[in-house]
Structure 1
Amino acid sequence: MAIQTAIVTAGVFIYFQIRGLTSSDPVAAHAHAWDVVGLERWLGVDVEATAQGPLLVRPWLATAANWIYIWGHWPVIIATMVWLAWRHRREFLRLRDAMLVSGAVGLVVFVTFPVAPPRLVHSGLVDTITLQSRSYRVLQPPNFTNQYAALPSLHAGWDLLVGIAIATATSWTALRLLAGLLPVLMAYAVVATANHYVLDVVAGMLLALAGYAIALWRERRIDRAGSSP
């Protein structure tokens, strides 16, 4: 347990240090953001302003979206990994590997293709989290963040992985329902708070699923090696 905790902690620390200390080019990040916007408009999925509209006139909805974004990510990830490590080691290792793989690929994308979030590109959109809450800065200090690391959205991708892990590990219907809602609610929250584009969410979830596939492949290789005479 101590070794696994150290591996996960080291992975998270390295992820945030590289993500936060990477010097992104604001000009390139804004140009890439408009590329994303152009593609969304072509696909007909540029709904960021529509998603945020209700939050600006209903403070309670903004608070709900903010809380999902803040408390539905790292606190949920940590609690889930502790529970899995304690009771469901196989699912824990699968989640750990999927997060490490997708996180590593995500870092490469952040460095090579910085993208500014909607809140920094669209004059009509605001960062509801910064305006209404200080909790996020406590959970994720400024020196650990990179405001040009919008694509892919690992908020959405990793919550998808957590949801899969919970649904796989438990037979409780209520918990499985919560696991299914988790990535859906996070996908809504990251877009409605103007922190990610819709395509950021899609990219994050696809990357997470690719990481999960690699984790499953590794798990099966280990199983085959263990069963060999």
Structure 2
Amino acid sequence: MTAVAPAGEHREDNRVPAPRRTVVRRVRAPRRPRLWFEILLIAVSYWTYSMIRNAVPEQEAQAMRNAEWLWEFERALGIAVEQTLNHAANGVTWLIVTMNYYYATLHFIVTMGVLVWLYRRHPGRYAATRTVLFATTAIALFGYYLFPLAPPRLMEGVHFIDTVKVHDTWGSMASGNMAHVSNQYAAMPSMHIGWSVWCGIIIALLATPLWLKILGWLYPSATLLVIVCTANHFWLDAVGGVVCLGIGFAVSYLWYGEPVHRMPRLVPATP
């Protein structure tokens, strides 16, 4: 006779070899992240991302055509107000200079700050949330290759202001003296939005103080305004960034089997 498992007892799927099940469980299991490994992983991953992003052929003609098409599409939707916001913000010197430095710095500072906070306060969720960020960034590379797009400040025939050049501030890697080391036609999707919305969602879900949750939601909103006012992105670039982030969350869920906020905050102590 065939033995029947008692009611309520979980029976493993015999179709998957036991050694493989063990390896998968060990890889998925929450564990305390190792600082040296995480620093190395972030450094290598960002270097690889930058190298691949900048290695994508700078298809200027196609990027300009795509920008014109996207601008006309936004006009048809009635949302093409980037030029108005760009000119209005540029008329207030202190505001646009602040936005230039915001665009150049907070993208990295806040994202790294959230990673450090996760590492220290939510070690059990760190790997899953880091996976979301890495998968989001990897997906963006396909967008840069498949849909080269000139940012508004480089468009021909539509007068946008490159606020970094006009105000001589240290800013975008694709403006001024740094333009030759960065792919200027990788505007879709916007990783400023992808990363900032990741920060906002993680803070809003995992932080305890209400004021910190509110800041979490305000940060991507402010970032959206900055990328438009500085003429670095169209509205729809931001949509592309959010789509990439959604895929990133899906990848993490498929690998770890549950949403990041439902994973254990702390890692069980090893005996």
Fold-level match, TM-score > 0.5? yes
Aligned to 1:127, which of 153, 156, 162?
162
Shift of 1:180: 0.5
Aligned to 2:39: 5
Mapping for residues 1-229 of structure 1, pairs under 5 Å: 1-122=35-156, 123-132=158-167, 133-137=169-173, 142=179, 145-220=182-257
Q: Look up the SS of the partner of 1:99 in the other structure.
A: helix
Q: Look up the SS of the partner of 1:116 in the other structure.
A: coil
Q: Look up the SS of the partner of 1:72 in the other structure.
A: helix
212-221 or 172-181: bigger deviation: 212-221
Mark the structure with the bigger radius of gyration.
2
CA pair 98-18 structure 1, distance change in 2 beyond 3 A? same
Q: Which amino acid aligns with 2:55?
A: L
In structure 2, distance between residues paired with 1:63 and 1:170: 31
More helix by share: 1
Q: Which amino acid aligns with 1:32?
A: N
Q: Look up the SS of the partner of 1:40 in the other structure.
A: helix
In structure 1, distance between residues paired with 2:203 and 2:128: 11
Native 8 Å contact 2:100 2:170 kept in 1: no
TM-score by length of 1: 0.88
211-220 or 101-110: bigger deviation: 211-220
In structure 1, distance between residues paired with 2:234 and 2:111: 22
Select the structure with the greater relative contact order (CA < 8 A; seq sep ≥ 6).
1
Q: Deviations over 1:104-157 (max 9, x none)?
A: 1111110121000000005421121343311555xxx65652110000011011
Q: Deviations over 1:37-81 (max 9, x none)?
A: 121111111111121122121112212322321222111111211
CA pair 11-143 structure 1, distance change in 2 beyond 3 A? farther
Structure 2 unmatched runs, 5+ = 1-34, 264-271
In structure 1, distance between residues paired with 2:95 and 2:162: 14
In structure 1, distance between residues paired with 2:148 and 2:127: 30
